[in-house]
């Protein structure tokens, strides 16, 4: 995704830029950079079209073309809006502000206009900085795509080895684990970028931090670290992130880079578990049966198994306007505690026992001692498939 005007303006190099119009356009994406000279200050429609800026341009100007001719400013603003320019930054050499009609037009068409002083920045420096940030964003997105292929099992072991050598300090680790901090509420504001930079500065030189799916993947090198307590305590001590802002998942300790993709997958699944059950942070190895259910909940075999258990219950409810499915779902959630199920449904416990006996008949052998186990796997998988 291209960088936005708001993200650029939050950089420290632009702290002296003042927004005077077009606040609604701060989410505009920047595709290129240009300098406004006389492009819209002529009466030749052909030349104006020929010299027009490309869509998504961040345009810089001193308004030299409008010196002693303020009436030209509205015409220029109209042209910029017509051509889909993302923002206009004006150096206050000839004008400290713009005519009211030009500001109103920019507001109406969501064209952000900024003013900056003579000594605040040079045109060339602005262009170089924005271009560098655009390239950095492109590199970040490319890396995120590569990581996505790896964690989704679409990358060979040879390519996993190559990627780990490319992106990790010293080409990899002898002992490491991965943490994934998934933002609870994504914002394109600069907070997301600043939090990433803060996190990257906080970890050790041999650790690695990557942006991934509105969150941060952190690979922590454990070769020379003293291990006090469990991995969760260690990770929180190192990262010092606000737990209320993230769903935090922590993978197992690994001793070979051939398991780099597994380490990332574990952290991602643990983060999903943290979100599902409202726990934070969560270690993959403490997830019980969900260590299997989360990775395979959408596999054809598990989906087929769930249908074989759940569909007969659904069909019974459709035919008889029953409540067996809901009762069985709560029964699993309450770990088979009939008293608790009865309490939640405001029914007598014998009613719950009767309903569960009907579910047992529908599912299969009434004497099968594995009934609770089978029902639990089916409903917990169904719960995950709804995510």
Q: Mean pLDDT lowest for which of 20-34, 73-87, 229-243?
A: 229-243
Q: What is the pLDDT of residue 142?
A: 84
Higher pLDDT: 187 or 347? It is 347
Q: What is the pLDDT of residue 190?
A: 47
Question: Would you call 320 exposed, middle or buried from its count of C-beta atoms within 10 A (0-12, 13-18, 19+)?
Answer: exposed
- Tell me the pLDDT tens digit for each residue of 158-167: 999 888 888 8
Query: Does 202 score more than 50 pLDDT?
Result: yes
- Tell me the pLDDT tens digit for each residue of 79-120: 899 989 999 999 999 999 999 999 999 999 999 999 999 888
Higher pLDDT: 82 or 192? It is 82
In sequence order, what are the beta bridge partners of 180?
Answer: 217, 249
Q: What is the pLDDT of residue 189?
A: 45
- For helices 300-320 and 349-363, the axis angle rounded to 10 degrees is 120
Please name the residues in contact with 66: beta carbons below 8 A apart, sequence gap of 6 or more: 41, 72, 73, 76, 94, 95
Q: What is the pLDDT of residue 41?
A: 59
CB 248 within 8 Å of CB 280: yes
Going across the sheet that includes 87-91, the strands are 18-21, 113-116, 87-91, 57-61, 32-35
Query: Does 45 score more than 80 pLDDT?
Result: no
Q: Mean pLDDT lowest for which of 83-97, 153-167, 311-325, 345-359?
A: 153-167
Q: What is the pLDDT of residue 187?
A: 55
Please name the residues in contact with 275: beta carbons below 8 A apart, sequence gap of 6 or more: 182, 247
Extract the tokens encoding 110.
Answer: 């969501």
């Amino acid at each position: 995704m291209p960088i936005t005007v708001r993200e650029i303006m939050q950089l420290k190099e632009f702290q002296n830029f003042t927004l005077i119009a077009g606040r609604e356009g701060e989410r505009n994406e920047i595709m290129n950079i240009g300098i406004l000279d006389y492009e819209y200050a002529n009466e030749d429609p052909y030349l104006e079209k020929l010299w027009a800026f490309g869509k998504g341009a961040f345009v810089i100007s001193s308004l030299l073309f409008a010196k002693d001719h303020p009436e030209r400013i509205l015409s220029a603003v109209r042209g910029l809006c017509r051509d889909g320019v993302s923002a206009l930054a004006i150096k206050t050499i000839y004008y400290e502000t713009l005519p009211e009609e030009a500001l109103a037009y920019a507001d109406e068409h969501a064209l952000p206009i900024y003013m900056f002083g003579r000594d605040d920045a040079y045109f060339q420096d602005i262009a170089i900085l924005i271009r560098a940030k655009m390239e950095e964003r492109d590199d970040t997105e490319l890396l995120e795509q590569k990581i996505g292929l790896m964690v989704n099992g679409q990358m060979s072991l040879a390519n996993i080895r190559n990627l780990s050598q490319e992106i990790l300090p010293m080409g990899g680790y002898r002992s490491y684990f991965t943490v994934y901090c998934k933002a609870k509420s994504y914002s394109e504001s600069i907070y997301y970028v600043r939090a990433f930079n803060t996190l990257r500065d906080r970890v050790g030189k041999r650790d690695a931090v990557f942006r991934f799916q509105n969150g941060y993947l952190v690979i922590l090198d454990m070769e020379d670290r003293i291990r006090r307590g469990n991995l969760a305590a260690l990770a929180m001590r190192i990262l010092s992130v606000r737990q209320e802002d993230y769903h935090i998942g922590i993978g197992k300790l690994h001793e070979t880079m051939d398991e780099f993709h597994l380490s990332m997958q574990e952290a991602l699944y643990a983060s999903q578990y943290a979100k599902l059950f409202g726990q934070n942070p969560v270690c993959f190895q403490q997830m019980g049966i969900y260590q299997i259910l989360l990775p395979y909940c959408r596999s054809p075999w598990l989906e087929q198994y769930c249908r074989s258990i759940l569909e007969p219950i659904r069909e019974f409810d459709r035919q008889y306007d029953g409540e067996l499915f809901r009762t069985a779902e709560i029964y699993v959630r309450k770990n088979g505690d009939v008293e608790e199920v009865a309490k939640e449904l405001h029914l007598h416990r014998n009613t719950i026992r009767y309903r569960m006996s009907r579910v047992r008949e529908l599912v299969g052998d009434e004497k099968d001692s594995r009934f609770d186990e089978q029902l639990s796997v089916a409903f917990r998988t169904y719960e995950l498939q709804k995510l």
